[in-house]
Amino acid sequence: MDSEEHQMEVSLNNDRITDLPDDLKCNILARLPLKEMVGTSLLSRMWRYTWASIPNLVFNEKYFMSIRELVRFVDMVLLLHQGPICKFNIYCLDFTHVPIERWMLVLSRNEIEEITIRCSLSYRWRICSCFFSIQSLKKVYLRNCTLMLPHVFCGLKHLQTLNLFACTISDDDLEKLYLLQCGCNLELPLKFEHLKELSIQLTLHDQNEASVAFFLLQNAPNVQYLSILNRPEGPDDFMPIGNLWDLNMQKIALEHLKFVLIDYRGSVTESGLLLVKLLLSAAPLLEKVHIKNYKKDFEFVKNPESLSSPVSTLRNRLKKRYLHTELRLVRLIGSVYTLWLDLYLSFRFVLSMNSRELEISNLMDCDKHQK
Amino acid sequence: MITLISSDKRKFHVLEEVANQSLTIRDVIEDRRGRRRADRIILVTNINSKIPEKVIVYWLRHFLMPEEIAHASMSHKKAEKLKKWEAKFFDTDIDTLNDLILAADSLDIPSLFDGACEKVSDILKNRSAEEVGEISKIENEFTHEEEEEEIPSENAWVWRNEFA
């Protein structure tokens, strides 16, 4: 194809689209459905292999009839692809048993920057060790994965944004983490030094899932934006997680954390309160805190202090480590009951020391009688 | 006020605030801030005069509501109106769209770039290779063998499930 290509007189006809620089052509191609994208190879010699160099690969199950077809398609695209792959997205919520491991292996050999994997909730993908060796990663979204700690983990040094949805850690690795934490002054090297944005969706009282959050917070000291969404499932068996929190308390330092969003999606539990406690004692430069606990049927309470005084668990446990002079806005949205009121009073206390007001948006009450 | 000069030497006078929507121009203005008026002329050599007209029309439309777009807090009615306007704006021949893509790329105007790329891909969507070739005047210089045998067999995996 090469020798013939050079003889072509491109400017003779009015074919402007072929004259576009390759990266712009790829931009148009990337907006076509995959099959039509490959179909452009029939247009002319200049177009024959253009599709194979598009840097952003997005695979969506909706264009495929079966899992088999999808898998084969991804395999072939990765096989025939040339040049760098910057982005790899795969959406397959309906299909299970997707061989992500082998695709990861291919991607780890490219300078991939962005990976999005949204798999079916009934299929748990185990993140293999080659994933942790992809040093070029900048942005990651994972859903429903089990993290397998590699034997040697040097960290993902360029990672900036990390989104985890219902990710967990295997029992063996949990043990390993515990050992690591109990091992006195074992200094951890920086694992995610450029991580700025971290969103985690997890079941707060699930030990394995919470450990993932701890592991990340411990290793990402430069996080600026943190969002934690709770998926309330099962009863809150508080004790084991309580230990985990206390173990971690001294080892987490989030000196760059500015914005925190916590959504309990249900009532605040002990482990939920401990999370707030941890963040307050680890992040001196907090600026904004939003905490929600949505419940459907609520009733507006204008004066929360008129409620009966709660047992002040959080306030008592809160070590006055930092003054939080930067804290400007605390927004509590949700329904009022014992633990929630506790949160309210604690924040009012912190803010009153800096003579700032606590903002309560729609502080609502649905079960103030519950005790 | 700044002056843009197209490749065919036509001059376009634009308010600085309007032209600021091009990140390239914004950087140039920033570099030349405080200099004489003669320096506020920007040569846009790779674009003919038809395109700056369109680009400026696009700028003016978007200039009216820059903040609302940025914060996505536009009212539903306004968003609908803008959408309609953009559909009309991009409803043009494929050559103009190509020029718009080039211009948006070199002037760094992300929304215009995305809009034009989207429109081109819409035009190409759901069409056979022959139709696409016709519309975009791509000359098919494949030999008969290539077209009938080589390429179809090369791409058979896309359409036929040969392993099934």
Rg of chain B over all Cα atoms, to the nearest angstrom: 21
Looking at residue B164, its pLDDT comes to 44
> What is the rounded (10 degree) CA torsion for A33, A38, A42, A47?
100
Looking at residue A283, its pLDDT comes to 83
Q: Hey, is the C-beta of B121 within 8 angstroms of any chain A C-beta?
A: yes
Strand partners, A57: A88
Q: Pick the more confident residue, A246 or B2.
A: B2
Chain B positions in Cβ-Cβ contact with residue A20 (cut-off 8 Å):
98, 101-102
- C-alpha span between B105 and A145 (Å, rounded): 38
Q: Is A24–B159 a contact, with Cβ atoms under 8 angstroms apart?
A: no
Q: Hey, is the C-beta of B111 within 8 angstroms of any chain A C-beta?
A: no
Q: Hey, is the C-beta of B133 within 8 angstroms of any chain A C-beta?
A: yes
Looking at residue B163, its pLDDT comes to 47
Domain A59-365 has CATH 3.80.10: yes
Looking at residue A250, its pLDDT comes to 61
pLDDT digits (tens, 9 = 90+) for B58-86: 888 887 765 555 445 556 777 788 888 88
Looking at residue A181, its pLDDT comes to 58
Whole-angstrom CA distances from A162 to A100, A212, A351 are: 18, 12, 30
Q: Is A1 exposed, middle or buried (0-12, 13-18, 19+ CB in 10 A)?
A: exposed
Q: In CATH, what is the architecture of B2-126? A: 2-Layer Sandwich (3.30)
Chain A positions in Cβ-Cβ contact with residue B143 (cut-off 8 Å):
none
The interface pTM score, or ipTM, of the predicted complex is 0.79
Interface of A with B (CB under 8 A): 8, 13-21, 24, 27-29, 31-33, 35-36, 38-48, 68-69, 72-73, 76
Domain spans of chain B?
A: 2-126
**What average pLDDT does range B86-110 have in this prediction?**
87
Note the pTM of the prediction, 2 decimals. 0.74
Strand partners, A91: A60, A118
Q: How many CB pairs under 8 A join A and B?
A: 94
Q: What is the mean pLDDT of chain B?
A: 79
pLDDT tier, B151 (very low <50, low <70, confident <90, very high otherwise): confident
* DSSP percent split of chain A into helix, strand, coil, nearest 5: 40, 20, 40
Kindly tell me if the per-residue pLDDT of B121 is higher than 50: yes
- C-alpha span between A27 and A331 (Å, rounded): 41
Per residue of chain A (371 residues), give pLDDT as tens: 344 333 333 334 456 778 788 888 888 888 888 788 888 888 888 888 888 888 888 888 887 888 888 888 899 899 999 888 999 998 887 777 778 888 888 898 888 999 998 877 777 777 777 888 888 899 999 888 887 777 777 778 888 998 888 888 777 777 776 666 555 444 555 678 888 999 988 887 777 787 778 778 878 888 999 998 887 766 555 444 445 555 555 667 888 888 988 887 776 666 777 778 778 778 888 888 888 776 543 334 444 444 444 444 444 445 555 667 777 777 777 665 656 677 777 777 777 766 666 666 544 443 333 33
Domain spans of chain A?
A: 1-54, 59-365
